[in-house]
Amino acid sequence: MAIVLVDAGGTNIGSVRYALQRLGVDAELSADAATIRAADKVILPGVGAAGPGMARLRELGLVEVVRSLTRPVLGVCLGMQLLCAHSEEGDTACLGLIDAPVRRFAETPALRVPQMGWNRIEATRAHPLTEGLGEEAWAYFVHSYAVPVGPWTLATADYGGPFSALVAQGNFHGMQFHPERSAALGARLLQRFLAL
């Protein structure tokens, strides 16, 4: 099985690659269109801001490549947000593969932004990625922007209100949290993605 990590400059690429290696999978890091199109599974990692993330995909000529993929695709953190329609961060048009907006958390005296740390995720609908997700499903988050709950939502977390922690639309999937930093739960969810 050929797994490709899109080399779009995300600073979490190394840790995602290492998490896959711990599962016995050696993912290829590539920005080559033909390699990405030929992959059995594609992972779009990302840490940073939506505007520069989309600019990097455009510079590499990968916007239409990612949009054309028919095999399972997983966006991680910013990678998930880039799969969505639009981000408030920099008023950025994203890939439009998951018909969802990305909005900034409303900061309050009781709610620090970004959210940094562990948060419980809860399945909201049946899907191979959420199978067996129990009450004690905790994942590690670092983000200031989030996708609201909608028809794309597979699992939610709560930070001043519910938001989408895990999403899917067609063959495109996203994890707002960092599976590579989410211990056994993260490893299990990566394995489930690889099994799709």
> Which residues are catalytically annotated?
77, 178, 180
Instruction: At 189, list the tokens.
Output: 């969810």
Question: Which amino acid is present at 175?
Answer: M
Half-sphere exposure of 144 (CA within 13 A, CB side): 13
Query: Quick check: bond before 151 cis, omega within 30?
Result: no
Given its phi and psi angles, is residue 138 left (phi above 0), alpha (psi -120 to 50 degrees) or beta?
Answer: beta
Strand, helix or coil for residue 59: helix
Report the distance separating Cα 4 and Cα 37, nearest Å.
9
Rounded distance between C-alpha atoms, residue 150 and residue 181, angstroms: 26
